[in-house]
Structure 1
Amino acid sequence: MAALIATITLQIVSRVLFSAVGWTEEVSRFLLIWITFLGATLAFQRGRHIAVTFVVEALPRRLQRLARIAALLVALSFMIALVVIGYQYMHVQSFQRSASLRLSMTYIYAVIPLAAALMSWYALVDLIEALVAPPDDIDSGSVNAEEPPA
């Protein structure tokens, strides 16, 4: 995030005081892509993605547990598919180079399978915890997730 702020600040200052630095727009775009995917991974790990829980919360405890396990299985399946598809897409785009930096786009697209693999790991951990936890210890988010200090 600090690199993104520094790059955008350099872009603004260079446009106002000098001639614009050409690579700043591209770098800031690539940094925003990486921040988005890694932020989504962090939100997944902390159980902060948008969820409609009122239906599940209305169920008995046993069915809540089954619904949580089913949701984690669906999420895990999706993330594994995203790892495979993201890896394939990364290799398909490997010949492409960025416009100003001439950087291989493999490095930019690598965040897709990386973030999906991390989310798969978190989903697997949550699934194992949901399977071994006693039925009375149901939680709607990650069991060990802590909030960052305010």
Structure 2
Amino acid sequence: MKQMFLRLERATTALSMYFACAMLAMAAGLGVFQILTRFVLEKPAEWTEVLIRFSLIWMVFMGIPMAFRQGAMVSVDVLYRWASDRHKRVLDAVVMLASLLLIAVIIIVGWDYSQRGRVQTIIGLEDYSMFWAYIAMPVGGLFAVLGIVGNFLDPKRLELETAQ
């Protein structure tokens, strides 16, 4: 069961990371397009600024699961280095529960925002509602839950391995 969950978690975390990378590429491409239209063609495309902002929001929330999976989000390095082996596992459990609580708040608040944002249109893209921007919080949060539990079941402490 544990291995099956970890396979699912690896697949979903990889998917979220690919999506986050695509959003970064989209933001960069739109930034270049915006510079060309504004300064070369002297006809700015207002919608690019909005899409850059939203792609960066999606990039952050879809990149969070990988950070959790690698153990890089909640940094308790000093406590972890001082703790005995038995206490390290207790510390892992406390960090996991605190992280899950934070993500639960993000999911709940994000879902509420996305529902309220259905009636609000995006400036520059009036045909679309703010729902598509706000839904990044609960979607990224759901992917992060899998990363948090995956890190608890199969800990990776990449920030401790590279620290001096």
TM-score relative to the length of structure 2: 0.73
Displacement of 1:140 in angstroms is 5.6
Contact 2:100–2:145 (CA under 8 A) maintained in structure 1: yes
**Which of 20, 27, 31 is the equivalent residue of 1:8?**
31
Contact 1:68–1:140 (CA under 8 A) maintained in structure 2: no
Q: 2:98: which partner in 1?
A: 74
For 1:58 and 1:41, locate their aligned partners in 2 and report how far apart those are by CA, in whole Å. Answer: 27
Displacement of 1:86 in angstroms is 1.2
Contact 2:117–2:130 (CA under 8 A) maintained in structure 1: yes
- For structure 1, the 5+ residue unaligned runs are 131-138, 143-150
Amino acid at match of 1:40: I
Larger helix proportion of the pair: 2
TM-score relative to the length of structure 1: 0.80
Contact 2:68–2:151 (CA under 8 A) maintained in structure 1: no
**Which of 113, 122, 131 is the equivalent residue of 1:98?**
122
Q: Which has the larger radius of gyration?
A: 1
- For structure 2, the 5+ residue unaligned runs are 1-23, 159-164
Displacement of 1:116 in angstroms is 0.8
Amino acid at match of 1:105: M
- Secondary structure of the 1:47 match is coil
Instruction: Kindly provide the CA deviation profile for residues 111-142 of structure 1, in whole angstroms up to 9, marking residues without a partner as x.
Output: 00011111112222333x26xxxxxxxx4638
For 1:93 and 1:75, locate their aligned partners in 2 and report how far apart those are by CA, in whole Å. Answer: 26
1:84 aligns with 2:108: yes
Q: RMSD of the TM alignment (CA)?
A: 1.8
Amino acid at match of 1:7: L
Contact 2:34–2:49 (CA under 8 A) maintained in structure 1: yes
Residue 68 to residue 122, structure 1, CA distance change in 2 (3 Å): same
Q: 2:10: which partner in 1?
A: none
Displacement of 1:41 in angstroms is 2.4
Displacement of 1:48 in angstroms is 2.2
Instruction: Kindly provide the CA deviation profile for residues 63-122 of structure 1, in whole angstroms up to 9, marking residues without a partner as x.
Output: 111111111111112212321221112101211101111121001101000111111122
User: Mapping of 1:27-38 within 5 angstroms?
Assistant: 27-38=51-62
